[in-house]
Structure 1
Amino acid sequence: MKYSGWPEKGDLVVGKVDEIEDFGVFVDLEEYEDKRGLVHVSNVASGWIKNVRDHVGVDERVVAKVLDVDESAQQIDLSLKDVNDHQRKEKIQDWKNEQKADNWMEQAFGDDVDAETYAAVANELLAEFGSMYDGFETAAVQGHEALAETDLSDAERDAVVEVARENVSVPYVTVAGYVNLRSPGSDGVDDVRSALEAAGGDNGTVPDEVDLEVTYVGAPEYRLRVQAPDYKTAESHLEAGVERAREAIETAGGTADFHRERRTHEG
């Protein structure tokens, strides 16, 4: 997607060098429709410049800082020297991410999606998440809940979530803990089984982005394993699962003894 408007003073923009003159460099802005900026020779690099072509070449992709915008004169003044290496790499990565998101939009709504629909969905993602890429990434983790505050239709939310989960690689962490469950009563086996079912949660207790698994290790020990997008979420659901098991077994007159072992990856 290319923006139809104008960049603002201070923005970092991605462009491709179109033309080089002794007085400066003309740059086509990749993110904007039919917008071209000029980097004056004094803003190409620090220090004295003998030959502009020693510093930049035609068709080279660059990151520039917007110094000034004059819409009436259709003029955008840019600087290359005011962008450091960190800013350049970060901006290029953000731009590449938006290219990915642009492709995902076509997957979600079709190659022939009309401009109005595209713009409406894109603007909702931009307003809520700051970028289309961040919108898809959050939708991949949180599902429909991530889009609840947007004005997207149910069908549009379904399309975004489906494509996000097919394409976005989401980093997950794993935490695990062990709980010893004992119930001295005659119904002890059933009591433990009920406690394990409680630990696993029911519909609505554990969100879509969290996977909670309860497995038998060896009586009376059972393992709770939680996979989630971050440690805070994973630990929270691990502790909640243990408390559900503890409450259930203690209600039946039994005991629960929990000890925890944190792991990022498990074989």
Structure 2
Amino acid sequence: MKYSGWPEPGELVVGRVDEIEDFGVFIDLLEYEDKRGLCHISEVASGWIKNVRDHVNVDQRVVAKVLDIDKSAQQIDLSLKDVNDHQRKDTIQEWKNEQKADNWMELAFGEDMDDEQYAAIANELLADFGSLYDGFEAAAIHGAEAFEETDLDEGEVEAIVGTARENVSVPYVKVTGYVSLECPTGDGVDVIKEALQAAEGNGEVPEEVDLEVTYVGSPEYRIEVQAPDYKTAETELEESAERARALVTERGGTGRFHRERETDEE
């Protein structure tokens, strides 16, 4: 994705060295449509520079800081020396992430997606998450819930979530579900306690999985699972609820797993 506007002074931008002159370096901005900046020789590197070509090469990918913008003259002044190694590394990684997200947009909505639809969806993601990549990452972690405050329609959300969960690698995924447990027998309280212990796995939950069962309001209990990937989290959530439901049912009660909270807020 390339932005149609202008960068802001102080912004770090990713560019490609297009042309090298004795007085400086012309850099094509890879994140902006038809935008090119000039890094004067005094901003290429610290100290005295004998030959600009000793510091940069044509087609080299660089990170530059925007010093000043003159829209009327179509001029963008850049600095390479004002970018430290940490900023350079982070900016390049963010740019690579956006390239991935741009490809995911194509996977989600097809190669024939028109520019207007792309811009509308991309602007929603940018407004709510700050970047396309962060929007897809939120989709992988939280699913459709992540988009409740957006204006995206159900089909668009489904496409993003489905693509995200197939392609995005995240450090962890958290999923939540609810189980309603009732047991009218004389030992019903004890049965429910045993069912909750079963839901928690009786110490047999995989080490990489964090599973917690909490009371919401009779007869409802919340199950939260944190795992390295969505498939594992979903599997552990469903198995947790099924362990509780099966035990209660076997002992004369009823149990039901559901996604949304049903107990009224107090």
Tell me the equivalent position of 1:195: 193
TM-score (norm. length: structure 2): 0.72
Tell me the equivalent position of 1:56: 56
- Maintained 8 Å contact 1:44/1:79: yes
1:112 Cα offset (Å)? 1.3
1:170 Cα offset (Å)? 1.9
Q: Share of identical aligned residues, percent?
A: 65
Instruction: String of CA shifts for 1:153-209, please: whole Å, max 9, x gaps.
Output: 1110000100011111122389xxxxxxxxxxx965x75553344567xxxxxxxxx
Tell me the equivalent position of 2:13: 13
Shift of the 228–148 alpha-carbon distance from structure 1 to 2, 3 Å rule, reads: farther
- Uncovered stretches (5+) of structure 1, i.e. residues with no partner: 175-185, 201-212, 216-221, 249-262
1:243 Cα offset (Å)? 5.0
SS at match of 1:91: helix
SS at match of 1:107: helix
Shift of the 228–10 alpha-carbon distance from structure 1 to 2, 3 Å rule, reads: farther
- Maintained 8 Å contact 2:140/2:173: no
SS at match of 2:203: strand
- Maintained 8 Å contact 1:122/1:132: yes
Alpha-carbon separation, structure 2, partners of 1:163 and 1:3: 23
Instruction: String of CA shifts for 1:121-169, please: whole Å, max 9, x gaps.
Output: 1000000011010010011000000011000011100001000111111
SS at match of 2:113: coil
SS at match of 1:34: coil
Shift of the 150–227 alpha-carbon distance from structure 1 to 2, 3 Å rule, reads: farther
Deviation >6 Å, runs of 4+: 226-229
Shift of the 15–124 alpha-carbon distance from structure 1 to 2, 3 Å rule, reads: same
1:223 aligns with 2:203: yes
- Uncovered stretches (5+) of structure 2, i.e. residues with no partner: 175-184, 220-226, 229-266
Instruction: String of CA shifts for 1:56-78, please: whole Å, max 9, x gaps.
Output: 00000000000011111011000
Q: How many residues align?
A: 211
TM-score (norm. length: structure 1): 0.72
Shift of the 196–141 alpha-carbon distance from structure 1 to 2, 3 Å rule, reads: farther
Alpha-carbon separation, structure 1, partners of 2:207 and 2:138: 16
Alpha-carbon separation, structure 2, partners of 1:94 and 1:38: 23
| Matches for 1:113-132 after TM superposition, within 5 Å | 113-132=113-132
Instruction: String of CA shifts for 1:38-89, please: whole Å, max 9, x gaps.
Output: 0000000000000000000000000000001111101100000000000000
Shift of the 51–161 alpha-carbon distance from structure 1 to 2, 3 Å rule, reads: same
- Maintained 8 Å contact 1:14/1:61: yes
Alpha-carbon separation, structure 2, partners of 1:11 and 1:98: 16
SS at match of 1:45: coil
Alpha-carbon separation, structure 2, partners of 1:71 and 1:228: 53
